[in-house]
Chain A
């Protein structure tokens, strides 16, 4: 009983509630500005937390993290500018929905599935942290290697139009991801002596360039069409639709939790795996990529399932799974706390107070998000002729902000042109992105395994986790081939979708 009162004493503090609310609001606002990311907001807020109580300090940063994740999806849905690589998956269906006049529905779907996933992920954090941390420790380079192989197979299911083009896009993505210093030998690969390329190509310029800029270029390539005012951005999400998505959301959250608990894979893989899984199972498979509610739900669930779960390796092992948790780790340090096994022994009340705050932040996100949607969905009503030039300006400033360098602006515009060419040649951009993200992980873990195993290939089959992922990988390939062949046998139905933008 003593611990309960101690926890409540730590948690029931007006400062904490204010911190969470403020954090979520800052996160949503900053995340929803193209080019500005939750990472920047967390880094900027860090000095403000130095003089705060530890619980409030951490909760402020966690609030920004969660709000920022959702804010990134808002721009992905409304203006095709993903705030993070993970929300690139959301735009596959979210943006078409907004174009069809269902902006509000897409935003609500994203919000509800985010909150549900968040909730599930927090439950996992509270009850299974110790257990999941153990799995994370058994996840060495060979296990990672197979996980990445499995993730790569989802390219097949994402390449909706033409398998060949999807694979070509993925290969190009892998190729570009290899630019930079070689991780093992430190030799330069395709940097052409340019210092800006030595740390490999930055994410944000690539993301914005690949998705937002082609949309702008295409708008000016096409004939001007008069702006049709949508009717209040469409209706919200009906209960029946939410019910239909619920299975995908739960499955996506669990995928997110498992991937989030393994440091270093990140939300992007979770979002895409969850998306392709939902698509595989859905009876409305053909509608994915054209504005399917379930697609938005699955992707957001995977994405947010990770957010809570990345706290697992952080709190129980002291290992940050991504940049934001690395900054939160810094905040712990500043307050004289070192996450890890010792923290659980010495500061259990504090951990539980944090857990309660993290749970509470999901609720706050629901409220803040609902309020934000009302105003954000108005963006969908702004004529593109006015919206796009301003979006372009944000994109340019945002690309500069990544490294404070004009080189990234050029990079972003270059990727914009590439993305436009992709559109003209019907080469899908999503496999390109997956290749870009997973390519280095594939290579690094392959070489790491070889180094650890002393060039002995048996390390790739060393235990049940590797066997499990080998089976998943093979199964996924076989299933995809089976689908491909049976689809070929059936006479191709006439495509009924209207002109896709």
Chain B
């Protein structure tokens, strides 16, 4: 019933009758001294948003402060990120849920007003979601090798969830490395892209694991490979692209990563407090269950290591974007 009291207070407040919804816990000199804002650079719904709300809920308990989720969608996450980079008065209490859009956005959007690496501090990589190379159930190809050989002969189509998504860029990377003929077919989000794949309208996709996992298990889609460095425990029989070895695919390791970043002037004590809280959050059962549900691995890197990872990613996607002619 406790949840109901919470939910009920939302209802009462909607009527403008109660004011008790958000009483901030203010401590005098230790961080956080105010509500923490967690900026989601995408619209509500979708993995980034749900993950952020789940993490905010847990972080709230660990930090003993309100964590307010704020959606600021626009231009593939670059609007919110640009705004964070500009700073402002509450920049020491603002964190942002970054995802592949952060590095890919830097590669495909012209004249960004910020540096995706140097303008931020990188707190913690929370989860990594592998992409899965999937083909329709009745596809004649049962292995990556068979697919590549066929794609060198005739033109193949791959679906993706929008220009600059990790799904799109994985497809372009695959096309570049294997030197095959593939045409990108854009859709407005994974939800719209999935029917085309299930119905056999496109030949292949490099979808995020959670979107296709249940379809793979039910036999409606065939998984040829996963894109992470190691095999996924959700699909233990499916090889990684790195294992394939041939066709330059040993260089193909990519995941949809999600992590928290902040403005470069984020105070050191705040970084330490966040670090401690996030480590605690990542131990929590609720978090691990949720990550597992997404087919994700808990993130490995934090701080300086995380930053280096981002720098490498930015460089890689810039190359792919130029090769594919996406950069305008």
Is A in direct contact with B (CB under 8 Å) within the complex? yes
Apart from A52-B3, A404-B70, what are 6 other A-B pairs with CB-CB below 8 Å? Answer: A19-B4, A186-B164, A188-B328, A264-B191, A327-B45, A451-B157
B150 at the A interface (CB under 8 A): no
Contact mask for chain B residues 71-83; partner A; CB cutoff 8 A; 1 contact, 0 none: 1111110110010
- The reply to whether A323 and B43 form a contact with Cβ atoms under 8 Å apart is yes
Partner of A40, one of B44, B202, B328: B44
- The reply to whether A452 and B202 form a contact with Cβ atoms under 8 Å apart is yes
- The reply to whether B328 and A319 form a contact with Cβ atoms under 8 Å apart is no
Contact mask for chain A residues 253-276; partner B; CB cutoff 8 A; 1 contact, 0 none: 000000000011000000000000
Contact mask for chain A residues 24-36; partner B; CB cutoff 8 A; 1 contact, 0 none: 0110011000000
Contact mask for chain A residues 322-351; partner B; CB cutoff 8 A; 1 contact, 0 none: 011111011101101011111101000000
Return 26 A-B CB contacts under 8 Å, by A number.
Answer: A22-B7, A22-B11, A39-B44, A42-B44, A46-B50, A47-B53, A47-B69, A48-B7, A60-B7, A183-B162, A183-B186, A186-B163, A196-B74, A199-B73, A313-B195, A318-B215, A326-B46, A327-B50, A333-B210, A334-B293, A336-B293, A340-B218, A341-B214, A403-B74, A448-B196, A451-B157
Collect the chain A residues with CB atoms within 8 Å of residue B8's CB.
Answer: 22
B290 at the A interface (CB under 8 A): yes
Counting chain B CB atoms within 10 Å of each CB, the highest count among A30, A138, A187, A451 belongs to A451
Collect the chain A residues with CB atoms within 8 Å of residue B286's CB.
Answer: 50
Within B192-228, which residues are at the interface with A (CB < 8 Å)? 192, 194-196, 198-199, 201-202, 210-211, 213-215, 217-218, 220
Specify the chain B residue showing the minimal Cβ separation from A321.
Answer: B191
- The reply to whether B214 and A338 form a contact with Cβ atoms under 8 Å apart is yes
> Contacts A43-B44, A47-B57, A183-B162; is A137 near B199 (CB within 8 Å)?
yes
A176 at the B interface (CB under 8 A): no
- The reply to whether B192 and A263 form a contact with Cβ atoms under 8 Å apart is yes
Assembly CA distance A343 to B202 (angstroms): 25
A184 at the B interface (CB under 8 A): yes
> Contacts A319-B191, A341-B214, A343-B214; is A48 near B6 (CB within 8 Å)?
yes
Specify the chain B residue showing the minimal Cβ separation from A183.
Answer: B186
Closest Cβ of chain A to B78, distance in Å, is 7
> Contacts A22-B11, A195-B79; is A264 near B188 (CB within 8 Å)?
yes
B178 at the A interface (CB under 8 A): no
Majority secondary structure of chain A interface residues (helix, strand, loop or mixed) = helix
A45 at the B interface (CB under 8 A): yes
Collect the chain A residues with CB atoms within 8 Å of residue B183's CB.
Answer: 451, 454
Assembly CA distance A15 to B57 (angstroms): 21
- The reply to whether B82 and A43 form a contact with Cβ atoms under 8 Å apart is no
Partner of A43, one of B2, B49, B155, B214: B49
> Contacts A186-B108, A330-B49, A448-B187; is A48 near B194 (CB within 8 Å)?
no
Contact mask for chain A residues 132-170; partner B; CB cutoff 8 A; 1 contact, 0 none: 000011111100000000000000000000000000000
B54 at the A interface (CB under 8 A): yes
- The reply to whether A183 and B2 form a contact with Cβ atoms under 8 Å apart is no
Interface residues of A (CB under 8 A from B): 15, 18-19, 22, 25-26, 29-30, 39-52, 60, 136-141, 181-188, 193, 195-196, 198-199, 263-264, 313, 317-321, 323-327, 329-331, 333-334, 336, 338-343, 345, 403-405, 444, 448, 451-452, 454
Collect the chain A residues with CB atoms within 8 Å of residue B277's CB.
Answer: none
Counting chain A CB atoms within 10 Å of each CB, the highest count among B72, B201, B210, B294 belongs to B201
Assembly CA distance A25 to B15 (angstroms): 10
Assembly CA distance A45 to B163 (angstroms): 31
Assembly CA distance A449 to B217 (angstroms): 29
Within B61-94, which residues are at the interface with A (CB < 8 Å)? 69-76, 78-79, 82
B56 at the A interface (CB under 8 A): yes
Assembly CA distance A187 to B21 (angstroms): 44
Collect the chain A residues with CB atoms within 8 Å of residue B198's CB.
Answer: 137, 317
| Among all A-B residue pairs, the 4 with the closest Cβ atoms | A326-B45, A330-B50, A43-B44, A340-B214
Collect the chain A residues with CB atoms within 8 Å of residue B214's CB.
Answer: 318, 338-343
- The reply to whether A451 and B43 form a contact with Cβ atoms under 8 Å apart is no
> Contacts A137-B199, A342-B214, A404-B72; is A444 near B49 (CB within 8 Å)?
no
> Contacts A187-B328, A404-B72; is A18 near B4 (CB within 8 Å)?
yes
- The reply to whether A195 and B326 form a contact with Cβ atoms under 8 Å apart is no
- The reply to whether A141 and B163 form a contact with Cβ atoms under 8 Å apart is no
Collect the chain B residues with CB atoms within 8 Å of residue A48's CB.
Answer: 3, 6-7, 10
Collect the chain B residues with CB atoms within 8 Å of residue A444's CB.
Answer: 186, 188
Size of the chain B interface, CB-CB below 8 angstroms: 72
- The reply to whether B14 and A30 form a contact with Cβ atoms under 8 Å apart is yes
- The reply to whether A342 and B15 form a contact with Cβ atoms under 8 Å apart is no
Specify the chain B residue showing the minimal Cβ separation from A28.
Answer: B14
B289 at the A interface (CB under 8 A): yes
Collect the chain A residues with CB atoms within 8 Å of residue B70's CB.
Answer: 404
Collect the chain B residues with CB atoms within 8 Å of residue A403's CB.
Answer: 72-74
Partner of B196, one of A51, A140, A183: A140
Collect the chain B residues with CB atoms within 8 Å of residue A327's CB.
Answer: 44-45, 49-50
Partner of B218, one of A30, A41, A187, A342: A342
Assembly CA distance A182 to B162 (angstroms): 10
> Contacts A319-B194, A452-B196; is A334 near B290 (CB within 8 Å)?
yes
Closest Cβ of chain B to A445, distance in Å, is 10
Assembly CA distance A421 to B50 (angstroms): 42
B185 at the A interface (CB under 8 A): yes
Collect the chain B residues with CB atoms within 8 Å of residue A323's CB.
Answer: 43-45
Specify the chain B residue showing the minimal Cβ separation from A327.
Answer: B45
> Contacts A184-B163, A317-B194; is A333 near B294 (CB within 8 Å)?
yes
Within B117-134, which residues are at the interface with A (CB < 8 Å)? none
Collect the chain A residues with CB atoms within 8 Å of residue B217's CB.
Answer: 342
- The reply to whether A26 and B45 form a contact with Cβ atoms under 8 Å apart is no
Specify the chain A residue showing the minimal Cβ separation from B219.
Answer: A341
Partner of B195, one of A18, A137, A338, A451: A137
Partner of B79, one of A40, A140, A182, A196: A196
Assembly CA distance A233 to B196 (angstroms): 50
Closest Cβ of chain A to B322, distance in Å, is 13
Partner of B289, one of A18, A22, A331, A336: A336
> Contacts A48-B10, A183-B162; is A199 near B74 (CB within 8 Å)?
yes
Specify the chain A residue showing the minimal Cβ separation from B14.
Answer: A29
Specify the chain A residue showing the minimal Cβ separation from B327.
Answer: A186
Collect the chain A residues with CB atoms within 8 Å of residue B196's CB.
Answer: 140-141, 448, 452
Closest Cβ of chain A to B222, distance in Å, is 15
Collect the chain A residues with CB atoms within 8 Å of residue B157's CB.
Answer: 451-452
- The reply to whether B15 and A47 form a contact with Cβ atoms under 8 Å apart is no
> Contacts A26-B14, A50-B57, A333-B50; is A43 near B293 (CB within 8 Å)?
no
Closest Cβ of chain B to A458, distance in Å, is 14
Collect the chain B residues with CB atoms within 8 Å of residue A136's CB.
Answer: 195
Collect the chain A residues with CB atoms within 8 Å of residue B50's CB.
Answer: 46, 327, 330-331, 333-334
Within B11-52, which residues are at the interface with A (CB < 8 Å)? 11, 14-15, 43-47, 49-50
Closest Cβ of chain A to B184, distance in Å, is 8
Closest Cβ of chain A to B277, distance in Å, is 17
Assembly CA distance A323 to B189 (angstroms): 11
Assembly CA distance A313 to B201 (angstroms): 18
Collect the chain A residues with CB atoms within 8 Å of residue B162's CB.
Answer: 183
Specify the chain B residue showing the minimal Cβ separation from A46.
Answer: B53
- The reply to whether A195 and B74 form a contact with Cβ atoms under 8 Å apart is yes
Collect the chain B residues with CB atoms within 8 Å of residue A193's CB.
Answer: 111
Assembly CA distance A159 to B239 (angstroms): 58
- The reply to whether B290 and A263 form a contact with Cβ atoms under 8 Å apart is no
